[in-house]
Amino acid sequence: MRKILIVDDSTTMRRMVTASLRNLRDVIFEEASSGLDAIERLSLNPASLMILDLNMPDMHGLDVLRFVRSQQVNHNLPIVVLTTRNDAASRSAAKEAGATLYMTKPFDPAELLNAAGNLLEAKS
């Protein structure tokens, strides 16, 4: 069973992402409401895909991304940054920190489903 970790401080956004990805097969979902929560959850149980917001109160998503990428076990983890920030500097910083894909909110559920499915298949 593959696991998708959804990291966003908004409960509503986590639910929207989960609802968008419900049609993926053999997938379970885990949610983290903060960057620190995400790091703790990844250290206890690896994920197959992480969807990560940048703007969070305790730890910026870029810091989470850098930390996750610094861990050998997560070196090849596909990470989709899903954020409201749509500027070139944010995109560039996320790519430099190790984001696999960068998407902006509001997002197209079909586009997120397609991207997640492709990333999970490529990892298999």
Tens of each residue's pLDDT in the chain, 124 residues: 999 999 999 999 999 999 999 999 999 999 999 999 999 999 999 999 999 999 998 999 999 999 999 999 998 999 999 999 999 999 999 999 999 999 999 999 999 999 999 999 987 6
Three-state DSSP at 71 gives coil
User: Nearest CA to 45 among 31, 57, 59?
Assistant: 31
* pLDDT at 123 (0 to 100): 75
Percent of the chain scored above 90 by pLDDT? 94
Instruction: Assign domain 2-123 to its CATH architecture.
Output: 3-Layer(aba) Sandwich (3.40)
Q: Where are the beta strands (DSSP E) in the chain?
A: 2-7, 27-32, 49-52, 79-83, 101-104
* pLDDT at 2 (0 to 100): 96
Residue with tokens 């959850």: 41
Domain residue extents for the chain: 2-123
Asked if 92 contacts 98 with a C-beta cutoff of 8 angstroms, the reply is no
Strand order in the sheet with 2-7: 27-32, 2-7, 49-52, 79-83, 101-104
- Give helix 61-70 / helix 88-97 axis angle, nearest 10°: 20
Instruction: Please state the pTM of the whole predicted model.
Output: 0.96
* pLDDT at 57 (0 to 100): 85
